[in-house]
């Protein structure tokens, strides 16, 4: 069953309350619900079956053992190579503030990249992020609803730079006939996020669910997951395109507590107001 994160969360919680246990595994519900669900006994522990879990970034699995992410979406700046040469292209986040890019940068109205940079361990912290966004606003930003739309417009030459694109858009087409005139900036740190998988404590098929999760988080499973969803694992042992692309870069992810804090602080609206999102 598919839906938004909130729709899936509402559906599975209603089923649990009504003792209608129709699902084993869920991916996509917002993590700010997890403490409540954990408290009412809805979430099962399973991360002990994940191969090599100690090598994963700690933001990719629960310290309670009841959720994990097989892959992440990574936000980075990108540019149209027909409009911007590799030599003049930005090389860092701060390069986006160069006056030469004034009026040439487009961003998504989704603030996830900036909220991860603000709250993730190894990120910028709140003060530095807000200072960066105040300066970025002065670049006369253009706005798009959705990164996929922004990427398509950049491919077509509609603008030079998309400041917060998803890296898998490029990795999915590199080396194919569909390869685009687009390249990405190897910024540090690299913010990443993704919906997590969790297993219901009252799962109808708990052993089958654990067997699937054990396979999913193995290198063969992670490679299938990337081919199917375009969302790759950053783990060096996974053999994914994403892991190879991120070699030498610092990945940062927001943990469950960071997600909860972002909601409590209303960080998305706070940053959108700071940037002047229309």
Residue 174 in this model has a pLDDT that exceeds 80: no
Q: Percent of the chain, pLDDT > 90?
A: 78
Is the pLDDT assigned to residue 49 strictly greater than 90?
Answer: yes
CB hemisphere CA count around 54 (13 angstroms): 0
Residue 222 has pLDDT above 80, yes or no: yes
Q: What is the pLDDT of residues 109-165, one digit of tens each?
A: 999 999 999 999 999 999 999 999 999 999 999 999 989 999 999 999 999 999 999
Tally of residues, the chain: 278
Grade residue 54 by pLDDT with cuts at 50, 70 and 90: confident
Whether this model's pTM surpasses 0.95 = no
Question: Residue 250 — very low, low, confident or very high, per pLDDT cuts 50/70/90?
Answer: very high
* Average pLDDT of the residues in 9-34: 89
The per-residue pLDDT for 234 is 93
């Amino acid at each position: 069953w598919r839906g938004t994160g909130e729709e899936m969360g509402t559906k599975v919680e209603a089923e649990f309350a009504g003792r209608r246990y129709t699902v084993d595994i869920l991916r996509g519900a917002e993590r700010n619900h997890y403490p409540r669900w954990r408290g009412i006994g809805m979430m099962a522990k399973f991360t002990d079956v994940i191969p090599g879990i100690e090598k994963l970034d700690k933001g990719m699995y629960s310290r309670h053992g009841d959720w994990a992410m097989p892959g992440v979406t990574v936000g980075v700046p990108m540019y149209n190579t027909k409009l911007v040469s590799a030599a003049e292209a930005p090389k860092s986040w701060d390069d986006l503030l160069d006056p030469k890019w004034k009026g040439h940068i487009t961003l998504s109205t989704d603030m996830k990249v900036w909220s991860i940079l603000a709250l993730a361990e190894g990120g910028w912290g709140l003060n530095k992020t807000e200072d960066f966004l105040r300066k970025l606003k002065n670049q006369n930003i253009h706005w798009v609803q959705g990164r996929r739309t922004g990427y398509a417009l950049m491919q077509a030459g509609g603008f030079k730079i998309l400041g917060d694109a998803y890296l898998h858009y490029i990795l999915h087409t590199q080396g194919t006939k569909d390869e685009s005139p687009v390249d990405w900036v190897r910024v540090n740190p690299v913010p990443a996020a993704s919906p997590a998988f969790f297993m219901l404590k009252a799962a109808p098929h708990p052993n089958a669910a654990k067997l699937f999760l054990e396979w999913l988080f193995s290198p063969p499973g992670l490679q299938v997951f990337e081919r199917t969803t375009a969302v790759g694992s950053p783990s060096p042992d996974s053999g994914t395109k994403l892991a190879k692309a991120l070699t030498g870069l610092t990945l940062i992810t927001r943990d469950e507590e960071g997600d909860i804090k972002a909601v409590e602080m209303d960080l998305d609206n706070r940053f959108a107001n700071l940037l002047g999102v229309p």
